[in-house]
Amino acid sequence: MSLPVHLVDSLAGVSVGDLVTVEGDEAHHAVAVRRLRVGEQVVLTDGSGRSVTGAVTDTGKRVFSVEASSVEELPRPSPSFVVVQALPKGDRGELSVEVLTEIGVDQVVPWAASRSVAVWKGERATKSLARWRSTAREAAKQSRRSWHPTVTELSTTAEVAELVAGADLAVVLHEEAGAPLAGLPVPASGTVVVVVGPEGGLSPDEVATFVAAGAVSVRLGAEVLRTSTAGVAACAALLARTARWGG
């Protein structure tokens, strides 16, 4: 059975034999909810490529310590995958973030598309962004990722266009596109950006803006996917042609 994974702020400089202390909500959940016990083997990660495996040496109400028996540091995966996710309605945003995290996406960019039903403003924006980030954090732990994804602040169309312009490959998923996603070459390094529209679809102006910035408008197939699943389908198809997935 896989060992439980817990997140810490940093594992920089940790060596075999060192004690690592976990505090706060992460420790409280492990000790009070999951009933972590002394002697149990766990994995600690800082989400920045470093992980430690070791036995729990002591526990408290909101704290526990682990003696490192092995330390691993992995390079950042390449190419980097960025998904621009138009705001969906309901909890479909968290679903999208969860599955994108599970397959290895490196960054999720919430986007206020012109046809997005959901609107992030004021307190709602703060709470919604916090839920997306919490979802990414928990999904990264569940999928045992050494590098955790980031969820950025809400972006405008102009900001997404700048992101597209700086990418090594950028695609816009559009059901009316003439080119299939399957025919695109995927760079071995750099950044891949995938733009996913809202339930109401992309506006012609948005498509034109992103294409002008350097994106390729592509279709996934004959089927029209939901906004919460289109990104994961596209990224999986692209990842399968990279060294990240053994391509």
Q: For position 37, which CATH number holds?
A: 2.40.240.20
* Single-letter code of the amino acid located at 157: T
How many structural domains compose the chain? 2
DSSP 8-state class, residue 2: P
Averaged pLDDT of the chain: 94
Is 69 in the same domain as 116? no
Is 190 in the same domain as 114? yes
Q: How far apart are CA 177 and CA 221, in angstroms?
A: 10
Considering the entire predicted model, what is its pTM? 0.92
pLDDT of residue 225: 86
pLDDT of residue 52: 97
Q: How far apart are CA 10 and CA 27, in angstroms?
A: 15
Is 108 in the same domain as 188? yes
* Single-letter code of the amino acid located at 237: A
pLDDT of residue 51: 96
CB 172 within 8 A of CB 202: yes
Is 24 in the same domain as 129? no
Is 141 in the same domain as 61? no
What average pLDDT does this structure show over 28-44?
Answer: 93
* Domain end marker among 73, 102, 127: 73
Is 171 in the same domain as 221? yes
Q: What is the pLDDT of residues 116-148, one digit of tens each?
A: 988 999 999 999 999 999 999 999 999 999 999
Q: What is the pLDDT of residues 76-117, one digit of tens each?
A: 999 999 999 999 988 899 999 999 999 999 999 999 999 998
Q: For position 176, which CATH number holds?
A: 3.40.1280.10
What average pLDDT does this structure show over 153-169?
Answer: 98
Q: What is the pLDDT of residues 191-236, one digit of tens each?
A: 999 999 998 899 999 999 999 999 999 998 878 789 999 999 999 9
DSSP 8-state class, residue 27: H
**178 pLDDT tier (thresholds 50, 70, 90):** confident
Q: How far apart are CA 50 and CA 11, in angstroms?
A: 6
* Single-letter code of the amino acid located at 130: A
Q: Is 12 exposed, middle or buried (0-12, 13-18, 19+ CB in 10 A)?
A: exposed
Q: How many CA atoms lie within 13 A of 182 on its CB side?
A: 3
Is 64 in the same domain as 142? no
* Domain end marker among 73, 102, 121: 73
Strand 63-73 relative to strand 19-23: parallel, antiparallel, unpaired? Answer: antiparallel
Is 154 in the same domain as 198? yes
Place of tokens 């998904």: 83
pLDDT of residue 247: 56
pLDDT of residue 164: 98
Is 127 in the same domain as 111? yes
* Domain end marker among 73, 98, 119: 73
Range(s) of the domain holding residue 58:
5-73
Is 55 in the same domain as 85? no
Is 185 in the same domain as 204? yes
Is 142 in the same domain as 42? no
